[in-house]
Amino acid sequence: MINFLKESFDKMTRSEDGSEIFNLPNSITLLRLAVIPVLFLIILSPGRILSMVIAVLFIIAAITDLIDGYVARKYNIVTTMGKFLDPVADKLIVSTAMIMMIPIGRIPAWIVAVIIMRDLFVDGVRSVASADGLVIDASRLGKQKTLCQIVAVSALLIHYDTVFGINAHAVGMVALYLALVLTVWSGADYFMKFYKEKIKK
C-alpha cells in the first residue's frame, strides 16, 4: 500500500518550481491530525467493531506519517511549518490514544505517564540544545521506540480480536513494555549526546 501511494505521488504532474506540491506534506499531516477527535470515542469503551474502526484509522494515520515524510524528502519540500507539525502530530495522536485507553483499563496509567514525561524531557533538552546552537542527531532508538508505540497502540485499540492467532491485547502489552524500555533508553541516549556536545563546546 505504501509503495502504491509513493508511486502515485511520483506520477503527479508538477510545475518546475514545485509549487503544485509545496503544501502536500503539510496537508497530509493535517489530515492525520483529523483522526484525533475520533480517538475520543475510545473512552466510551467501544465494542469489537468500533474498536477495529478506530484501530484502522489510527494505522492509516501512522502510514500517512511515512507518506508525508517521503513526499517532503522526494521533492525537497522542507518547511518550518512541516518541521513543527510532523513530530507534533505523531505525539498528539499516540498520546491521545494512550490517554483515552486509561479509563477503560486497556493501558496502565503509569506507563503512559513515563512515555509522556520522556517526550517532554527530550523536547526540553532539544530546546536548550537549539538555543546553544547544538545539533543532536536522532538515533535509531527513537525510531524503534516510535514503531513499538504504534504497534502497541494499534493492538490495544483492536483489543478483542487476534493478531497472528494471538490475543491482540496481549500483543499490545508486550509491544508496550518494549516501547517503554526503548522510550527510557532513547531519552537517556539523547541526553548523553547533548551532555557530550555541551562539554565539547
Read off the pLDDT of residues 90-108 as tens digits, 9 standing for 90 and up: 889 999 999 999 999 999 9
Range with the largest mean pLDDT of 22-31, 57-66, 73-82, 175-184: 175-184
SS3 160: coil
* Structure confidence at residue 192 (pLDDT): 87
Residues 199 and 125 in one domain: yes
* Higher local confidence (pLDDT), 15 or 126: 126
Please check whether residue 42 is in contact with residue 97, taking contact to mean a CB–CB distance below 8 angstroms: yes
Residues 128 and 81 in one domain: no
Residues 101 and 120 in one domain: no
| Number of separate helices (H) and strands (E) present in the chain | 8, 2
* Structure confidence at residue 62 (pLDDT): 85
* Structure confidence at residue 31 (pLDDT): 82
Residues 41 and 56 in one domain: yes
Read off the pLDDT of residues 133-188 as tens digits, 9 standing for 90 and up: 777 766 788 888 989 999 999 999 998 877 667 789 999 999 999 999 999 999 99
**C-alpha closest to that of 175 among 146, 147, 152:** 152
The total number of structural domains that make up the chain: 2
Q: Could you tell me the sign of the dihedral formed by the alpha carbons of 106, 54, 143, 113, in that order?
A: negative
CA distance 97 to 149: 11
Residues 154 and 80 in one domain: no
Please check whether residue 31 is in contact with residue 64, taking contact to mean a CB–CB distance below 8 angstroms: yes
Residues 125 and 41 in one domain: no
The pTM is what?
A: 0.79
How far from chain centre, in Å, is Cα 33? 11
CA distance 54 to 157: 7
SS3 166: strand
Query: Which residues, in sequence order, are CB contacts of 128 under 8 Å at separation 6+?
Result: 194
